[in-house]
Chain A
Amino acid sequence: MKLSRVAIGKQFRILFLTLFALVIGGMTLVKAQEAETIKVGILHSLSGTMSISEVTVVNSTLMAIEEINAAGGVMGRMIEPIVEDGASDWPTFAEKAQKLLLEDQVAVVFGCWTSASRKAVKPVFEENNGLLFYPVQYEGLEQSPNIFYTGATTNQQIVPAVEYLLEEGLSKMFLLGSDYVFPRTSNTIIKAQLAASGGETVGEEYVPLGGTEFSTIIEKIRAAEPQVIFNTLNGDSNVAFFKQYKDAGFTAETLPTMSVSIAEEEVKAIGVDFLLDHLVAWNYYQTVESDVNTTFVEAFKAKYGEDSVTSDPMEAGYFGVYLWKAAVEAAGSTEVEAVRAAAGGITFEAPEGTVTIDGDNQHTYKIVRIGQVREDGLIDTIWSTEGPVKPDPYLCTYEWAAELPKPEEGCPEPAA
Chain B
Amino acid sequence: MELILSQIFNGVSLGSILLLAALGLAFSFGLMKVINMAHGEFIMVGAYVTYFFQQFIAPALGGENAAKGGLFFILSIPAAFIITGALGYLLEVLIIRRLYGRPLDTLLATWGVGLMLQQLARSYDSRNVPVTSPDWLNGGLMISDALSLPYKRIFIIALVVFCIIGIYYYLYRSPQGRRTRAVMQNREIASVLGVATRRVDVLTFALGAGLAGVAGSALTLLGQIGPQVGTGYIVDAFMVVVLGGVGSLPGTIIAAFTIGIFNTFLEMSTTATLGKVLVFALIIAFLQWRPNGLVAVRSRT
Contacts and interface: CB of A to CB of B under 8 A. Distances in A.
B224 A51 contact: no
Interface of B: 3, 6-7, 10, 13-14, 17, 122, 126-128, 130, 132-133, 138-140, 142, 146, 148, 150-153, 222-224, 226-228, 232, 264, 267-268, 271-273, 275
16 contacts: A46-B126, A47-B122, A47-B227, A48-B126, A52-B128, A207-B273, A215-B153, A216-B267, A219-B10, A236-B128, A236-B224, A237-B223, A240-B223, A243-B223, A244-B150, A244-B222
Nearest to B142: A249
Given A47-B127, A215-B14, A243-B133, A52 B224 contact: yes
A271 interface: yes
B226 A49 contact: yes
B140 A47 contact: no
B10 A215 contact: yes
Interface in A93-115: none
A262 interface: no
Contact of B273 (A46, A47, A48, A206): A206
Contacts of B3: 219, 222-223
Contacts of A206: 271-273
Contact of B128 (A51, A211, A213, A219): A51
A211 B224 contact: no
A215 B140 CA distance: 13
Interface in A229-284: 236-237, 239-240, 243-244, 246-249, 269, 271, 273
A179 interface: yes
Nearest to B4: A219
Interface string A39-64: 00000001111011001000000000
Contacts of B133: 243
Interface of A: 46-49, 51-52, 55, 85, 179, 205-208, 210-213, 215-217, 219-220, 222-223, 236-237, 239-240, 243-244, 246-249, 269, 271, 273
Contact of A248 (B7, B132, B148, B272): B148
Contact of B140 (A46, A49, A216, A248): A248
A236 B223 contact: yes
A220 B275 CA distance: 14
**Most A Cβ at <10 Å: residue of B13, B133, B228:** B228
A240 B222 contact: yes
Contact of B226 (A48, A208, A240): A48
**Most B Cβ at <10 Å: residue of A47, A179, A239, A273:** A47
A49 B152 contact: no
A-B residue pairs, 10 tightest by C-beta: A47-B126, A212-B223, A247-B150, A240-B223, A215-B10, A216-B267, A51-B127, A249-B148, A236-B224, A207-B272
B65 to A, nearest CB: 13
Contact of B127 (A55, A217, A246): A55
A246 B138 contact: yes
A239 B229 CA distance: 14
Given A55-B127, A210-B232, A239-B224, A217 B272 contact: yes
Nearest to B221: A243
Contacts of B142: 249
A52 B268 contact: no
Nearest to A179: B273
Given A48-B228, A49-B226, A247-B151, 19 more contacts: A47-B122, A47-B227, A48-B226, A55-B127, A206-B271, A213-B17, A216-B7, A216-B272, A219-B10, A220-B268, A222-B3, A236-B224, A239-B130, A243-B133, A247-B148, A247-B150, A249-B140, A269-B130, A271-B130
A49 B223 CA distance: 11
Contacts of A236: 128, 223-224, 226
A208 B127 contact: no
A33 B14 CA distance: 63
Contacts of B275: 216
Contacts of A215: 10, 13-14, 153, 264
A47 B118 CA distance: 11
Contacts of B222: 212-213, 240, 243-244
Contacts of A239: 130, 223-224
Nearest to A51: B127
A47 B128 CA distance: 8
Given A208-B272, A243-B133, A219 B224 contact: no
B10 A216 contact: yes
A246 B152 CA distance: 12
B211 to A, nearest CB: 20
A123 to B, nearest CB: 26
B235 to A, nearest CB: 12
Contacts of B132: 271
B127 to A, nearest CB: 4
**Most B Cβ at <10 Å: residue of A85, A219, A246:** A219
A223 B148 CA distance: 13
A246 B228 contact: no
Given A219-B6, A220-B268, A243-B223, A213 B14 contact: yes
Given A49-B128, A213-B14, A244-B150, A205 B223 contact: no
Nearest to B126: A47
Contacts of A271: 130, 132
Nearest to A248: B148
Contacts of A217: 267, 272
Nearest to B17: A213
A63 to B, nearest CB: 19
Nearest to A215: B10
Contacts of B140: 247-249
Contacts of B272: 179, 205-208, 211, 213, 216-217
B168 to A, nearest CB: 28
Nearest to A240: B223
Contacts of A208: 272-273
A239 B271 CA distance: 20
A271 B68 CA distance: 13
A236 B228 CA distance: 12
B131 to A, nearest CB: 10
Given A208-B272, A219-B268, A51 B126 contact: yes
A239 B133 CA distance: 12
Contacts of A179: 272-273
Given A55-B127, A215-B14, A216-B7, A246 B139 contact: yes
A208 to B, nearest CB: 6
